Chain A
Amino acid sequence: MIEMPVEVSANSGAGAERAKERVRKGQAPIVPARGVAGNALVLVIAIMTFLSCLTLGAVTMVRDTAAAWQTQIAREATIQIKPDEGLDMEAALAESASIAGGFPGVTGTRIIDRNATARLLEPWLGAGLNMDELPVPRLVILTVDRASPPDFAALRSALTEKVPGLILDDHRTWVDRLVSMSRTTVTIGLTVLALILLATVLTVVFATRGAMAGNGHIIEVLHFVGAEARFIAKEFRRNFLVTGMKGAVAGGFAAVLVFLGFSLWSSRNLATPQADQAMALFGNFSIGVLGYAGVVFIVALIGAITAATSHATVVAHLHGLEVRQPDG
């Protein structure tokens, strides 16, 4: 190489030795991690991921619970016979049970006997009720094959032909309402999720741009030493992907902990009134495999968004450097 009239002395000293050690181990990253990461960015990403995962978990839970309700209700139908003058209730019950039992799609019938009916009414009318004194309707519960349910219209006409005044309730109204309610709830939940994700994207975009602003000098130096745009973008993208993933994993992990905590709480308080109430509303607080997969998806999505944002910001910054004009 070129000769230079400059004296060279031995390099000594603990600091220099440490730095030499660093050279041996590997060079400093071109984009310093601490400059980019900024704990604030990690925290913002963690919070947004946490909220997104909670919303997704809630949507999953509502959908699963509604589906479970729907399945339970659709599994049964009820025949209701109101007492009437001249009607032999027991005979009518037996006949309607036998007609229904012979119908394809009905897998079983169960007559609610007098004692069971009295027990059903006990909370309202008290114990020791004399059924003959009141016109209490009687019920036959039909178990329905969900795979091939009976033709309820035909069953209804066959039954009313033999027993006038009989009502066959296939719970269709309830099921329809429930389906519509669960669909509405899931749609609202998904809309909220979409809004939170959008807010996450925008927050990440602004936070990433903010963190990038402090690294403009690095982009410029790389640019001046002849680095290609894709090299510079790659250096920043890699760094921001790590930052994004740190925040996203922390947020996702916190959300999973919350789900597991609720699940544990509901299983520990299984028989208590509070848990019963909560179970009635939210099912068993389990978000299921799909919910956990959703958390993983959101974590990956937010990491990818952070990386893509930094990439786009670097490319835009470089473009600004290249096309900067004196009259611009």
Chain B
Amino acid sequence: MIRFENVGLRYGMGPEILRDISFQIPPSSFQFLSGPSGAGKTTLLRLLFMSLKPTRGLIQMFGKDRSRITPRDLPLLRRRIGIVFQDFRLLDHMTTYENVALPLRVRGREESSYRSDVSELLKWVGLGERMHVLPPVLSGGEKQRAAIARALIEQPEILLADEPTGNVDPPLARRLLRLFIELNRLGTAVVIATHDLGLMEQVDARRMILSNGRLDIYD
């Protein structure tokens, strides 16, 4: 589904942040992306989300060469990817429900066609009671779950999550992890960027460890 070959990335004339990164993300796979702070996890996620282009190497996204993907094609490809940001990026003037429904709204779907799906998903992530409140009154964990729900609403082929348990307590972190596992069981590939070793130990999954710009993979 996604293939990186000898990918390198540098900012300006500085040293390479990522060097000779090669890996594949098969459909329905589950992997953790880990490494010390500043190792380039977020940068690698941005490459996966196509908001950055590599300075060298080959990236294939859903069978297409990244260098040949035009800006016009990007929105359609991004719809196949769900992303959860570390800082949530919820729109404060919209309710939780409206934030989660946003991906469907931008596709021009009628609200009546997705209302029950969004409500069900919100209940599923434990936000049934917080559906109609604005993000500023949500706790960190609730915002995180809302951001996850927004990434899942379109049932993407792959979910990228940047430190999804960074703002939640351990019980909720375990619950979110169960959510990701359940999602993966239903066919969505999952990449979780985290430096939470406790979280990784709970699942027997592939680990991609970034250090000094290089990637080591432990299957």
Is A321 part of the binding interface, using a Cβ–Cβ cutoff of 8 Å? yes
In chain B, residues 147-189, which have Cβ atoms closer than 8 Å to a Cβ of chain A?
150, 154, 175, 178-179, 182-183, 186
A324 to B90, CA, bound (A): 22
Which A residue's beta carbon lies closest to that of B54? A326
Is B55 part of the binding interface, using a Cβ–Cβ cutoff of 8 Å? yes
Of the candidates B53, B89, B93, B132, the one whose C-beta lies within 8 Å of that of A19 is B132
Q: What is the distance, in angstroms, from B21's C-beta to the closest C-beta of chain A?
A: 14
Decide: B150 and A327 in contact? CB cutoff 8 A.
no
User: Interface residue count for A (Cβ, 8 Å)?
Assistant: 44
CB 8 Å contact bits of B87-130 with A (1 = contact, 0 = none):
00111011101100111011110010001010011011110110
Decide: A324 and B51 in contact? CB cutoff 8 A.
yes
Is A127 part of the binding interface, using a Cβ–Cβ cutoff of 8 Å? no
Residues in B whose Cβ lies below 8 Å from that of A222: 102, 106
Decide: A226 and B51 in contact? CB cutoff 8 A.
no
CB 8 Å contact bits of B19-61 with A (1 = contact, 0 = none):
0000000000000000000000000000001011101000000
Contacts A27-B111, A35-B93 given; does A326 touch B9 at CB 8 Å: yes
Decide: B12 and A327 in contact? CB cutoff 8 A.
yes
Decide: A28 and B94 in contact? CB cutoff 8 A.
yes
Contacts A16-B133, A327-B11 given; does A1 touch B124 at CB 8 Å: yes
Residues in A whose Cβ lies below 8 Å from that of B51: 224, 321, 324
Decide: B128 and A9 in contact? CB cutoff 8 A.
yes
Decide: B94 and A1 in contact? CB cutoff 8 A.
no
Of the candidates B106, B124, B183, the one whose C-beta lies within 8 Å of that of A227 is B106
Taking A1-B117, A1-B120, A19-B132 as known contacts, 13 extra A-B pairs with beta carbons closer than 8 A to each other, sorted by chain A number, are A4-B124, A11-B128, A15-B132, A16-B133, A30-B106, A35-B93, A218-B91, A224-B78, A224-B89, A225-B102, A226-B154, A318-B71, A319-B71
List residues of B whose CB falls within 8 A of some A CB. Answer: 9-13, 17, 49, 51-53, 55, 71, 74-76, 78-79, 83, 85, 89-91, 93-95, 97-98, 101-103, 105-108, 111, 115, 117, 120-121, 123-126, 128-129, 131-133, 150, 154, 175, 178-179, 182-183, 186
